[in-house]
A and B are shown apart, each in its own frame.
Chain A
């Protein structure tokens, strides 16, 4: 944004866009970015503004109105307890999104810190820290996630911590790899020669240059967290009722599959897919702009 727009009349200095600005411009030029951001904003509006506009019954059971198809039962019909499916979709999204976004950030923060430290320390410490990552990466994450969740009573905060605990290692590996290459650059020697502390070196000189990787993985991690939140709730080990969330709505619709209660099965699934698509679109556009090597390279 800080690019001077006036025509040069001589003697003045026109700044080229910084690499950062150039990357963001590349990002916004991509149709994927617009689709992704647009979908994400639309979902946020649906979930957080929707309930202010659309009033119905989301919480109180009303068995006379149970299992009504869309039309007689309102725009999206009613569930097995006669509650408005549309309003439950809106409210259910709030918690799913809040937990997923928080978990995505927590994962990225912890993973980036771990990877930064491991890459910076190098040598024996790096070896030890990365062997720990090897162990955790070898386990299918849902098994680890279920193991931890089964031991506690899930609350939103706990879920954030647990998801972060079971998914930070891929972020750590990526950031560590980036730090290892950055560390060999000359400017790091220069900063060291000036006498900067290790702490300063890591936070002011290594981290900002590894930020591209961090931003890209954060996006994919939010997408991954949405799946984890929904998946755990689907398996009955997520957040307890009464507050609805998409995964739990889907699992309580399961028994009605054979009654063809499609209005209870499609909406939560479509919502999850849309958030996931938005995250993948934005993530792909970001990696295209920030680090072409990362493209499609996430796990």
Chain B
């Protein structure tokens, strides 16, 4: 049986923003109001880090991608690991923390559509993943403590070998 995943319902960034806001309110800041939507042209993210999960195995496959500056990722990792503000962040802890963020966002985004499939393990890289032939559904940015984070959702093509 062929199933269709209606990722297009997420073309409106409101649900994705709501997921991100819930995550930051509950697990990062402990209160609402620190995450602001970014409107207009976005500045380049310095020393970017990319973290993503794919939704695979049923219907149209998709990728949820978060991009942020390395410094922002380290700040988030310090909060999640309850480290001092200037404490060094081990590479494994950095990947664990930012990977878990995209895992939570991806899982919640997945739950908003029908026939979504399964989440892959989070991946983290300082290189933008290849999105050959992928179609963007939503690409929204927020600021957190003045730093830009962008969340995007891509419907992937049918050839997994063209992905990274």
- The answer to whether A and B belong to the same complex is no
A interface residues (Cβ-Cβ under 8 A, vs B): none
A-contacting residues of B (Cβ < 8 Å)?
Answer: none
